[in-house]
Amino acid sequence: RRLQDGDEKEAAAATAAEEEATAVELTEVQRFLVGFQELRSGDAFDGEQLNELRTVEDVVTVLGLAPMIALSAYTAITGNCDYPSYAVAGLLALGTGVAHCALAYRTPRDWRAPRLGEGRTIYEFSGCYLLAFGWLLERMNPAFPAALEVADFPMCVALTAVVLYGFVVPAVVKADLVAANEPGYEGRLQPSTPEYQAESQMFLTGNVVVNVLGALFLPFAWTLAFRGTEWWERVQALHPSQAAFMGLSVLVAITGDDLGAFSFRVFEKRAIRTAFGLVTAGIVFNFLFLITPEIIFNTLYSSGVSEVGFYWE
């Protein structure tokens, strides 16, 4: 029986390697399609490897994700801004950010890929992102201590740096993956296989897309820092659903980052077999847990929301 199981695993590994080698020749759009096929067929997941996800950081991430997803759904359906729950969600984001930083510390740097194309820097970035956006979620709360408002400008600078880093760096360093294999390359990256390069390219592309969207929160953060709590309270009085809309938006941004880092962690343990399945699963989960709540909320409560004009009110 053990020999049979071993043969089956070897055959599955050989098949996966063959598929990855074939996928190297594909464009990124075609790789996404490969990922969808893997999800539909059930070949993307290996449930046996989930037992590896037992560290404190993994537990903190899962415990943080569940209530944030639930709170997003609640806000989208009811249109209510439950500030006490948002305060708890902000603390969960801060705690998960610390957990991801700890995970980065324990993860060796893979020098075959540039920053945000491999595990350690992905976890580092996720930790910083969660800390910055967790602060923003807390800062929106009317109960936010006035004494801590002195941190508004430093935190806005940090938030801006995190978001810009998240899409500028991956866009710039993508070419280094290929260059590292060329004669005369003098950078720090080590040569890698075409299969590895294809995986890393998809991680870099995913970071660019996600963090371009993250930049949409920068005007709100800076306006809140400059105009203060009085402005934010006035906006909420003029637009009854504005607080719920902004809270939901920040919440899904936090959930998306948390979910993305955890998905990479699952891939790292090979519970998701290929990067194509990972990125495609990320798209599906983002649609279910991030985009869907936004669609529901805007369908039901858009009349109480100002998209841009509230910045000048």
Tokens read off for 30: 């075609």
- What are the structure tokens assigned to 194, written together? 């075409």
What pLDDT is attached to residue 45?
62
Print the domain residue range for 148: 53-312
Is 161's pLDDT higher than 60? Answer: yes
* Residue 6 belongs to a domain: no
| 41 within domain boundaries | no
What are the residues facing 272 on neighbouring strands? 45
Domain contains 303: yes
Examine the pLDDT at 166 and tell me if it is beyond 90: yes
Write down the pLDDT at residue 199. Answer: 81
How many percent of the chain have pLDDT more than 70? 79
pLDDT digits (tens, 9 = 90+) for 14-69: 555 555 555 455 565 566 566 566 656 666 666 666 666 778 888 888 888 889 98
Query: Residue 127's pLDDT is what?
Result: 95
Q: Which residues contact 64 (CB under 8 A, 6 or more apart)?
A: 92, 93, 95, 96, 258
Q: What is the pTM of this model?
A: 0.82
Tokens linked to 274? 């290929």
How far apart CA 187 and CA 288 sit, in angstroms, is 40
Q: Tokens 């869907």 sit at which residue? A: 292
Average pLDDT of the chain, as a whole number = 83
The model's pLDDT over 64-99, given as tens digits with 9 standing for 90+, comes to 888 998 999 999 999 998 999 999 999 999 999 999
pLDDT at position 36 is 61
Residue 2 maps to a domain: no
The answer to whether residue 74 sits within a structural domain is: yes
The answer as to whether 24 is a domain residue is no
234-271 pLDDT, tens per residue? 999 999 999 999 999 999 889 888 888 888 888 787 77
Spatial distance between the Cα atoms of 92 and 90, rounded to a whole number of angstroms: 5
DSSP per residue over 259-281, as a string?
Answer: HHHHHHHHHHTTSB--HHHHHHH
* Predicted pLDDT at 115: 92
Cα dist from 13 to 6, 16, 112, whole Å: 11, 5, 22
Distances (CA, A) of 62 to 80, 95, 101, 167, 281: 25, 12, 16, 26, 17
3-state helix, strand, coil in the chain (%, to 5): 80, 0, 20
The least confident of 5-14, 36-45, 122-131, 220-229 is 5-14
Is 34 a domain residue?
Answer: no
Lookup result for tokens 């939901």: 248
Q: Compute and round to an integer the Cα radius of gyration of the chain.
A: 21
What pLDDT was estimated at residue 276?
A: 65
Q: How many domains does the chain have?
A: 1
Q: Is the dihedral of CA 269, 270, 275, 280 positive or negative?
A: negative
What band does 2 get if pLDDT is binned at 50, 70 and 90?
very low
Residue 189 DSSP one-character state? P
Q: Which two tokens stand for residue 62?
A: 């899962």
In the predicted structure, residue 135 carries a pLDDT above the cut 70: yes
Report yes or no on 27 lying in a domain.
no
